[in-house]
């Protein structure tokens, strides 16, 4: 496919996503599966579209733009990504097919888990996206030999964690010597799954920041004060310009990180750098952009009806999810 073909594909995907996500504040799992978003990266042999992470990133961005509640991050982006890196087996292939079809909603669990020689799993993970209510958990663990493995189970304790962002469901997952089935082996680098999660959240933050910029510019053009649009005042112009600069830089960094993950799989030193830059800047910048949107909307911005509070809470949660800006910048600094 040419660059033009990819651009047209992304435009079409973005248009469909905007239509589906614009119908309400929540999108259920069957709707996500029916739209084909779960299987975007899944090979056609397993019922998927055979696309890349670049297409998944488009959906993540639109989810942020609409600020809807959806079991996509943990149950689709991460789970499919992990399954694609596991060695072929009957269990893995069946699970990949079921997840793609939407008949099974699985959530990926990344935490401090160990698998003993007798097949007992122990560990804990906090703030696991979409684990609450999932049919199955795909747990990343270290076995008794030190190898990284994945364990599929529905026997772990899952406790919903309340957070201010009501568009996301997260939970604590714990295991205390739980007997599990034969683990699945990786063919890629399981530790770099964190990169995939971080970029997906950065895409979400980019989408919500762009939405708030557009809403603020529109409001500044229509809201009149002292007989003229407030957008004509220099202070408002400068604030909107600052928002635009932040969004533009975030877009460039996120695009680079998406390309790095899509072309190198998950890992690689270049991908690590691109991901850390995108996650730290886009998620931190989104909080600033939404904060300015809240201020420039004046009194109405603080009302429940404006909906800006939904974006602010989501942006703040994104900033901490899968690594804070400080953590990612520390990771960058340690390279030099």
Q: Which CATH class is domain 3-185?
A: mainly alpha
Alpha carbon of residue 314 to chain centroid: 11
The residue ranges of every structural domain in the chain are: 3-185, 191-334
Q: CA-to-CA distance for 44 and 55, rounded, in angstroms?
A: 15
In the beta sheet, which residues pair with residue 142? Answer: 114, 148
SS3 of residue 86 by DSSP: strand
Quick: pLDDT tens for 172-224: 999 999 999 999 998 877 767 889 999 999 999 999 999 999 999 999 999 88
Which CATH entry fits the domain spanning 191-334: 1.20.272.10, 3.90.1150.10, 1.20.140.10, 1.20.1440.130? 1.20.140.10
pLDDT score of 335: 79
| pLDDT given at position 119 | 95
Spatial distance between the Cα atoms of 300 and 331, rounded to a whole number of angstroms: 40
Per-residue pLDDT, averaged over 296-325, amounts to 89
* The pLDDT of residue 297 is above 80: yes
Confirm if 171 and 121 have CB atoms less than 8 A apart.
no
Spatial separation of the C-alpha atoms in residues 246 and 115, rounded to whole Å: 44
Strand, helix or coil for residue 183: coil
Output DSSP code: residue 125: E
Whether residue 266 has pLDDT greater than 60:
no
pTM over 0.85? The answer is yes
SS3 186: strand
pLDDT in tens, 31-74: 999 999 999 999 999 999 999 999 999 999 999 999 999 999 99
**At residue 228, does pLDDT exceed 60?**
yes
Provide the pLDDT for residue 303: 76
Per-residue pLDDT averaged across 245-264, rounded? Answer: 94
Report residue 268's pLDDT band, with 50, 70 and 90 as the boundaries: low
User: How far, in Å, CA of 156 to CA of 190, rounded?
Assistant: 21
Q: What is the DSSP letter of 88?
A: P
Does residue 2 carry a pLDDT above 60? no
Contact residues for 113 (Cβ-Cβ < 8 A; gap 6+): 121, 122, 123, 124, 125, 139, 140, 141, 142, 151, 175
Per-residue confidence at 225, pLDDT binned at 50, 70, 90?
confident
Query: How far from the centroid of its chain's Cα atoms is residue 49's Cα?
Result: 20
How far CA 198 is from CA of 62, 205, 219, 280, 303, in Å, comes to: 16, 11, 32, 9, 31
pLDDT tens, residue by residue, 120-137: 999 999 999 999 999 999
């Amino acid at each position: 496919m040419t660059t033009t073909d990819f651009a047209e594909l992304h435009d079409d995907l973005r248009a469909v996503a905007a239509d589906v996500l614009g119908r309400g504040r929540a999108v259920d799992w069957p709707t996500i599966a029916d739209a084909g978003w779960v299987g975007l990266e899944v090979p056609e042999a397993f019922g998927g579209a055979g696309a890349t992470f670049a297409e998944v990133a488009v959906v993540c961005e639109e989810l942020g733009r609409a600020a809807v509640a959806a079991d996509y991050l943990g149950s689709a982006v991460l789970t499919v990504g992990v399954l694609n890196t596991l060695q072929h087996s009957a269990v893995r292939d069946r699970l990949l097919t079921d997840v793609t079809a939407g008949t099974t909603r699985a959530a990926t669990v990344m935490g401090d888990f160990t698998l003993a020689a007798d097949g007992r799993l122990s560990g804990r993970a906090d703030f696991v996206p979409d684990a609450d209510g999932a049919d199955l958990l795909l747990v990343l663990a270290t076995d008794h030999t030190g190898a990284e493995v994945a364990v599929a189970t529905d026997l772990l304790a899952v406790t919903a964690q309340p957070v201010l962002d009501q568009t996301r469901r997260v939970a604590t997952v714990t295991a205390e010597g739980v007997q599990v089935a034969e683990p699945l082996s990786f063919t890629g680098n399981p530790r770099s799954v964190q990169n995939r999660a971080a970029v997906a959240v950065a895409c979400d933050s980019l989408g919500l920041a762009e939405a708030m910029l557009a809403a603020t510019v529109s409001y500044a053009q229509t809201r009149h004060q002292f007989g003229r649009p407030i957008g004509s005042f220099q202070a408002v112009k400068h604030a909107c310009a600052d928002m635009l600069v932040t969004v533009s830089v975030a877009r460039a960094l996120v695009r680079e990180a998406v390309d790095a993950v899509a072309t190198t799989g998950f890992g690689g030193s270049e991908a690590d750098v691109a991901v850390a830059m995108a996650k730290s800047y886009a998620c931190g910048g989104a909080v600033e952009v939404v904060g300015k949107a809240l201020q420039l909307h004046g009194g109405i911005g603080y009302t429940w009806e404006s909906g800006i509070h939904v974006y602010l809470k989501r942006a703040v949660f994104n900033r901490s999810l899968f690594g804070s800006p400080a953590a990612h910048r520390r990771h960058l600094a340690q390279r030099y």
